[in-house]
Amino acid sequence: MAVIHETTLKPTKLELLTDWLPTRPWYRGGPDAPALEKSGGFRLDDPEGEVGIEFMVVTDTASPERTPYLAALTYRGAPLEGAESGLIGTMEHGVLGKRWVYDGCQDPVLVTELLALIEGRAQAMAQSVSDTPDHDVLRSCTGSPLGAAGFTPEPADDEDGTRIAVPQGPGTGAVLRVHRVLSPVAENPPPSPRDARGHVAAGWPGPDGTRLQAVFMTLRTA
């Protein structure tokens, strides 16, 4: 289980994301830098205990619309070979030392564990408390197991999010979409998207005290 350290980060995660988000095609803000606040999220455990995995909801409060984004992050103690374009930045962790922070959609550990979560083989964990499951994260999956552990993801960003092709064998596969711009819905919990083979949904506190809910990821047959 991942251990959550109460310590300093220089720069902070929000500072790194403030520079990175405007470089993404799905960023909805204007020419000014976003004003980000951490709103929620969850973690997954790396079975090897080497890579930190976090799905963080950050809300841009620069405009009255308050746009929520989903950042998929991995934290590593050394650079990830071949993932230079996915490097968000580095930071000094008060306990662990220098950490390399990646867009986790380019990290095979995050993608493998996310697929395991969708299929019910991994447990979502609390974002800020060690060794504590997050039972508010919902998932669904139909069909046969993907059997795609360990592949190298090749994500593609568009104006709505990130698409990751998941190979299964000759002529077969699935498409995992990470919804970067979240769309909160009134349903609690939000329904599984139509024609989806699997999905992950979660919530976070809204500014007026209500709980916002959204679909974070969907899985469809290719």
Tens digits of residue pLDDT in 20-57 = 999 999 999 988 889 999 999 999 999 999 999 999 99
pTM greater than 0.85 (yes/no): yes
Distances (CA, A) of 35 to 8, 41, 60, 72, 201: 21, 18, 5, 19, 25
Among 189, 213, 194, 219, CA closest to 114:
219
Q: Tell me the pLDDT tens digit for each residue of 103-160.
A: 999 999 999 999 999 999 999 999 989 889 999 999 999 877 776 667 889 999 999 8
CA distances from 18 to 23, 87, 115, 206 (A): 10, 14, 28, 20
Domain ranges of the chain: 9-221
Question: In one letter, which amino acid is 85?
Answer: S
Looking only at the bridges linking them, the beta strands covering 211-221 and 198-205 are antiparallel
Give 190 or 180, the one with higher predicted confidence. Answer: 180
Q: How far is CA 53 from CA 32, 76, 104, 162, 173, in A?
A: 29, 9, 8, 17, 24
At 211 the three-state DSSP class reads strand
Closest to 48 in 3D by CA, of 149, 119, 146: 149
Backbone φ and ψ for 176, nearest 5 degrees, come out as -100, 125
